[in-house]
Amino acid sequence: MRSSSLHGTSSIRELSSISHGRNFKSSFYDSSKHPFARAIPSLSFKSCHFCVRCAVSFRPCIDIHKGKVKQIVGSTLRDSKEDGSTLVTNFESDKSAAEFANLYKKDGLKGGHVIMLGADPLSQAAAIEALRAYPGGLQVGGGINLDNCLSYIDEGASHVIVTSYVFNNGQMDLERLKGLVNVIGKQRLVLDLSCRKKEDKYAIVTDRWQKFTDVYLDEEVLTFLARFADEFLVHGVDVEGKK
């Protein structure tokens, strides 16, 4: 079974290829080998304006839920079952997160995401095993904060991915963002700006995509946040994982 989803990232480091006149870059990988490979259109900033690069690169992803590698419908993820909703899982692998990490290491796929969908002990242990299997090749997200961010870097993560800690109680907490940059550096920070549609705009959502913030994605917000992060990770939550 193959499952894939479209992710948008913005890598501040990739500006040089545009500034030197290389307007097109393309790389392909046989995603049928990797059921959790994701296609990522790359966006870059130049002179505070967006430049859409005509390129698609593939990055792997390891989503971990209760210690298992899964691909779920993002909008069905809940902390509570009081609303009667049920988690919808498209695929659950019998392979461990570390096995996928070793596979991606063997094939030279870098910059993949290890996402803990709930930072329970089983998921944390699985994520750390994956990072140790492919040191420097994977990013990690899920429950990242000022107290634990450096420990994941020490375990082998190239970057940490953060949402809820920075977008706290529905608002952007600039002091928390600056604190993360002071500890690990901008070059190791990815801001997850996953969003859901609200009033014909796209609001950043937190806490496993359940809570809306008052921060909406637009050029001004993205340009400002680019000062603090190496990349952005963006999920379209309303359609994430849907067939």
Q: Where are the domains of the chain?
A: 61-77+85-239
Inter-CA distances, 226 with 25, 65, 103, 166, 232, Å = 22, 30, 32, 14, 8
DSSP state of 184: H
Contact present, 152 and 183 (Cβ < 8 Å) = no
Report yes or no on whether pTM surpasses 0.75: no
Tokens of 74: 């993002």
- Is the per-residue pLDDT at 48 higher than 90? no
How is 103-145 classified by DSSP, letter by letter? Answer: HHHHTT--SEEEEESS--HHHHHHHHHHHHHSTTTEEEESS--
49-63, 64-78, 214-228: range with lowest mean pLDDT? 49-63
Identify the band that residue 209 occupies on the pLDDT scale cut at 50, 70 and 90.
confident
Identify the band that residue 239 occupies on the pLDDT scale cut at 50, 70 and 90.
low
Contact present, 47 and 73 (Cβ < 8 Å) = no
Higher pLDDT, 243 or 101: 101
Superfamily assignment of 61-77+85-239 in CATH? Aldolase class I (3.20.20.70)
Give mean pLDDT, residues 39-61.
56
pLDDT, residue 75, reads: 56
Give the pLDDT confidence of 171-181 residue by residue, as tens digits: 999 999 999 99
- Is the per-residue pLDDT at 126 higher than 60? yes
- What residues are paired with 161 via a beta bridge? 141, 190
